[in-house]
Each structure stands twice: as structure tokens, then as C-alpha cells.
Amino acid sequence: MPNCRLHFVHSLAKFKKIQLHENAKFFALGARNPEVISYAEQHNIPIWRMEDGFIRSVGLGSNLVAPLSLVVDPLGIYF
């Protein structure tokens, strides 16, 4: 996404320290997090789902191996 600033955070507490712009979005990787979803809904922040793409990585994400492709969808991820 051109002209965007990306922050990687592992908790809602760390996220709250970031100054948001008016067009902020959450990109959520993996399982749902009710605390993050609730915060986003209360502050009208869109949540986009993100998962490994169709081109598989050599290793697993749980082993911190970066994926070769990503799928990002504002409506949700369907398997």
C-alpha cells in the first residue's frame, strides 16, 4: 500500500501508543483477537484480514519463516 506507514505490534497496549491517522486500518494476521476487534469497532477502524498466500513458504510461520506471498482482504478470509 503506497504512501502508508506500517507498524508491527503484538499487543493492543503497544498499539495504543501509536498515533493514528484518519485513514488508519488494522491488518490482522491469524486468529481473531476479540480485544483488538472491539477496539477497532469502538474507534471505527476497518479490520483487514491477512494470511499466507497460495505460494507457500519453505517453513512455517510459527517458526518465524516469512511467507512468499500474502492474501489481504477487507471482508474476511475464506479457506
C-alpha cell at 28: 490482522
Residue 36: is its pLDDT beyond 70?
A: yes
Domain range annotation of the chain = 12-73
What's 11's DSSP letter?
S
Phi-psi region of 71 (alpha: psi -120 to 50; beta: other; left: phi over 0): beta
* Predicted model pTM: 0.65
Q: Which amino acid is at 76?
A: G
pLDDT digits (tens, 9 = 90+) for 7-33: 777 777 887 888 888 888 888 876 667
